[in-house]
Chain A
Amino acid sequence: MQDISSQTHTACEECDLLIAVPAVAEGERAECPRCGHTLTQRPRQGFERSLSFALAACVFFAISLAFPFLTLANGGIENVMTLPEASIAIWREQDPVLAVIVFLAIIALPIALIGTIIALVTPLVLNKQAAWLPGVGKLMFGLNDWAMVDVFVIGTIVSLVKIAKLATVILGLSFWAYILFAICLTASLSGLDRLQVWKAIDAATP
């Protein structure tokens, strides 16, 4: 039992069982024999796929900012609502805390998340060295829990049903782009396993 070190062994994050570092081939997943926690997984071409989806997400997000999100038609008058207005309207109604929370959850943090994914994965895919990779890695995994893009999509659908009785709502180009953005963001994150990413960061940091 002398040969246990950080090179040969790892521990389960959830139950702390000491485990010999599992050899994981592409497309495989290793789990903790005691509690079933996923220790690590290596999706096929994980980083390449992550990068493509992140770039696509960027494009869809730009579209969702530039076009109408929802349009309300009420007796000949049409009112156009853009995505940022979900937060700006609350700000105008004197509720700055709520406005900031909404802005962070649906716009600022998701775009920061996409930005950090691209900054992180691009050098890894191109086999480039970069000193700032650990910092970006920390930021990306920290942001992960706070982007609520998918929840906002469900919130929009619920609102549509609530308004349907009052007026006709037209779904804008931005609405569809935001849904595609949510799908691409999720797909991009699914290619990034924490242990694999940090192993790659370690190898790519000069």
Chain B
Amino acid sequence: MNYPANTAAARGLALCHVCGHLDKVELHECSRCGGGLHLRKTDSLQRTLALLVTAVILYIPANVLPIMNTVQLGKGEPATILGGVVLLINLGSYPIAAVIFIASVMVPVAKLMALFYLVWNGYRKVPASGIQCTKIYRLTELVGKWSMVDVFVVAILVALIHLTGLLVILPGPAAVAFAGVVVSTILAAHAFDTRLIWDRMKEDND
């Protein structure tokens, strides 16, 4: 692989994964902290893709199965994530319905699509502009953990309502699947290397 002349990689220099120290890649280990030295994250695109596929697979049960089950007088009433949003709208809690819809539905889907787009650009001969892809990447990093909101809501409702005895709320299988989606997309963002896109751009294109 030929790296553009203005990069550190072109001179055999790499940033330490742990401490960010610039060091000669042939040392393999950072001379400051002992962390790994690689010109680019190893198997970045394959690993990102594998984690994204995992997230997509988990996303199905996360939406189809109930995230919680309200048991009242022996009768169970399962609710999915989208069902919960509809219920909040019916109750007139529009701002909270919007928070849950954005955090649990829009953000994960947008994040998955954005990361698939970035991986695709990593494989393309002529990718989209480096600055545009880098900005998309920063967004995916920023929103990463916020999708956990719904999982925490379930945790609090289970603990709080459980105490009353009249009504029991049980966690549904979608809750753990959804937490899995959040964790795999965070790991996928970590695995992706934006420098792969810059590597494919012409040098005058800055």
Q: Which residues of A contact B (CB under 8 A)?
A: 4, 6, 9-11, 13-18, 34-37, 70, 72, 74, 77, 79-81, 85-90, 92-93, 95, 97-98, 101-102, 105-106, 134, 137-138, 141, 145-146, 148, 151-152, 154-156, 158-159, 161-163, 165-167, 169, 194-195, 198, 201-202
Contact = CB atoms under 8 A, between A and B. Distances in A.
Contacts, number: 196
Contact of A6 (B23, B152, B166, B179): B23
Contact of A81 (B14, B21, B163): B163
B50 interface: no
A158 B99 contact: yes
B20 A79 contact: no
B105 interface: no
Contacts of A201: 19, 33
Nearest to B189: A145
Nearest to A39: B20
B32 A198 contact: yes
Interface in B142-185: 144-146, 148-164, 166-167, 170-171, 175-176, 179, 183
17 contacts: A15-B198, A34-B198, A79-B163, A86-B156, A89-B155, A89-B158, A101-B183, A102-B152, A134-B19, A137-B33, A151-B146, A154-B103, A155-B148, A155-B153, A158-B149, A162-B153, A163-B157
